[in-house]
Structure 1
Amino acid sequence: MTNPTAALDAAQTFLFVPAARPDRFDKAFGSGAHAIIIDLEDAVAPGDKETARDAVAAWLGEHFGGGTGIGADSAGAGATTTGPAAASAGGEDAAAASGSGGSGAAVVVRVNQADSPWWAEDVATLAAAASALAGSGTPGGCPFALMQPKCEAPETLHAIERVFAEHGVAAPYLIGLLETPAGVLRCETLAEDGTVDRFAFGNYDLALELDARVSEDERELLYARSRVALTARAFGMPGAIDGPCADFSTPGATEASAKRGRDLGFAGKLAIHPKQLPMIESEFADSAADVDWAYRVVEAAAAADGAAVNVDGKMVDAPVLKRAQRIVERNPR
């Protein structure tokens, strides 16, 4: 069992897959996404929450531990409610990847929001699954991450840490999804607390909570997006993850959305369909020309030993060198 921190710090593509569709988990894992997000929240109807939770725990056991499944019986009785089906985060085809190939992905589970009747059982079941995996003798920390929707207060994240500690395992990598006005306004507090490992931006839920009339380019959310991206950088966190583009059918829509996020300083993007992955990666990944330039800058600066240096006829000052170093770090040779 490996710790997913490094992979999740650098991940650029995050593909949602409904927790109620365990038949799609392996397909999503092999889709080429840097990380998959198994969604227990929006993608699961209230009456299916318990079944979906148990399916996720079972898959985690099989995936990371060769069959060490854990379900609601080990963590406490799961809540069961009835009601209309919740909207799927990825729709019917969200994780219908085109094959099982690829090098695999980091695994994230999006739990329900903290004030829901399902959150406590989500966290307890996942902590029990992590504990069972640790007990299987495989070294390392929790091999999967958690995404907390409607993330607003450090206390929620501290509670997750406590539950995992009670099960004898270290807290998982935590992604805080900022999708409410309070969450965006408190992002500095969350970053300063240090419990959340990375931010993600929830554009659609935020627009709903603002009762905003959002145009195609989402310019109305520019302040909120910039605040999240700025806060992540200011506190030395990995670059924030931009929200998804719901339109995966119109040519150019995903590309334009990805470019806007990258231009603002986001370092990755959520996806609701596997065909969005290459479009997102193309925008967020460094080009071969950029990588070549960065290595030449870093090598020239090292050879100059502090003296002024120019590359391609341009002076290499501190910001230029720092940008080159970042690209080299992301693209080791």
Structure 2
Amino acid sequence: MSILLSPVHHARSFLFTPASRPERFAKALASEADCIIIDLEDAVGVDSKDSARAQLAQHLPLMTPGQRARTVVRVNAIGTPWHEADIALLRDWTHQDVTVMLPKSEDADALRHVADQLGRHARLIALIESLAGLDAANALASAPQVVRLAFGHLDFQLDLGMRASPDEPELAFARNALVAASRRAGLPAPIDGVTTRTDDAERLAADTRRARAFGFGGKLCIHPNQVVGVNEVMGDTEDEKAWAHRVIEEAAKHGGAAFRLDGRMVDLPVIRAAEAIVERTRR
């Protein structure tokens, strides 16, 4: 199934905001974050799950179409008491460009079931947080309606009993696997995990540079202060911007047909990637 491209496909920064704090939604959307993640999972206490979902239901109709296209909702994991109600709410919004992030993604069949429940317009981000998820990365990336993979590296370490050092060379095998799985499936570059220090710009920059060096195209943020730093490091170079403009110019001459540029085949996905670079430049 073909899924139309949205800001989620090529977003650099994803800013978390709790679903239980709806007064923060507009502020998050007004930030420089490419996308926001309204969190029904870890950011919401057990006793507040139902009220947070109700608050989200009240605020989704207040968003503009452009805001909804930049909105991801992290639902509660499959098998939890709140998952089905989360999916039932979002079934009405996936056809209006709201994307769903599924935590603890480990089973491609289960992911397909979620996609079936949400409808044919749904876009899914599979959040990989365990060894089982990593083992299934290729199948998850190839599942219908999955548009990106994301790495929950903190839970991943807990699952394996790891204590990674600050530069996290211990996690290189997992990062390589997610980038490779995304490439095999033809997905945009995956999204790396959070930097827990919100007051350390150097740590954030180092973590983001590492993510980009591995081939990640985005990063999860837990504080608005992190967004600009992530966007700068994950941003496009002048050479990349020039390339994007050349691709779009040549595409216009070829009327949508595939063509070669600098020895590389350029087809629709490459053109869409170039368009995303140009759009980010305009923003």
User: Would you say same fold, with TM above 0.5?
Assistant: yes
Q: Which residue is 1:277 aligned to?
A: 227
CA contact (8 A) 2:40 2:76 kept: yes
Deviation of the 1:57 alpha carbon: 1.1
Q: Which residue is 2:55 aligned to?
A: 55
Aligned residue type for 2:27: K
Query: Percent of counterpart pairs with the same letter?
Result: 36
Secondary structure of 2:86 counterpart: helix
CA contact (8 A) 1:12 1:267 kept: yes
Q: Which residue is 2:160 aligned to?
A: 210
Q: CA RMSD in A?
A: 3.3
Secondary structure of 2:93 counterpart: helix
- The list of structure 1 runs, each at least 4 consecutive aligned residues, that deviate by more than 6 angstroms after superposition, is 296-300, 324-327
CA contact (8 A) 1:36 1:105 kept: no
Secondary structure of 1:229 counterpart: helix
CA contact (8 A) 1:4 1:143 kept: no
Gap runs ≥5 in structure 1: 66-102, 132-140, 301-308, 310-315
Deviation of the 1:10 alpha carbon: 1.3
Deviation of the 1:247 alpha carbon: 1.2
Distance 1:108 1:298 in 2: 28
TM-score (norm 2): 0.84
TM-score (norm 1): 0.72
Aligned residue type for 1:48: S
Secondary structure of 2:163 counterpart: coil
Aligned residue pairs, count: 270
Match of 2:185 among 210, 213, 235: 235
Gap runs ≥5 in structure 2: 251-260
Q: Which residue is 1:70 aligned to?
A: none
Deviation of the 1:198 alpha carbon: 1.0
Deviation of the 1:126 alpha carbon: 1.9
Deviation of the 1:20 alpha carbon: 1.1
Distance 1:117 1:295 in 2: 49
Aligned residue type for 2:189: G
Q: Which residue is 1:91 aligned to?
A: none
Structure having the higher helix fraction is 2
Q: Which residue is 2:29 aligned to?
A: 29
Distance 2:208 2:247 in 1: 27
Distance 1:177 1:190 in 2: 10
Q: Which residue is 2:253 aligned to?
A: none
Q: Which residue is 1:332 aligned to?
A: 278
Distance 2:22 2:87 in 1: 19
Deviation of the 1:194 alpha carbon: 3.0
Aligned residue type for 1:50: D
After alignment, is 200-209 or 149-158 more displaced?
149-158
Secondary structure of 1:232 counterpart: helix
Aligned residue type for 2:74: R
Deviation of the 1:62 alpha carbon: 1.9
Deviations 1:24-76 (A, max 9, x none): 111111111111000000000000000001111111122248xxxxxxxxxxx
When residues 327 and 148 of structure 1 are mapped into structure 2, their CA distance, relative to the original with a 3 A threshold, is closer
When residues 24 and 252 of structure 1 are mapped into structure 2, their CA distance, relative to the original with a 3 A threshold, is same
Deviation of the 1:112 alpha carbon: 0.5
Q: Which has the larger radius of gyration?
A: 1
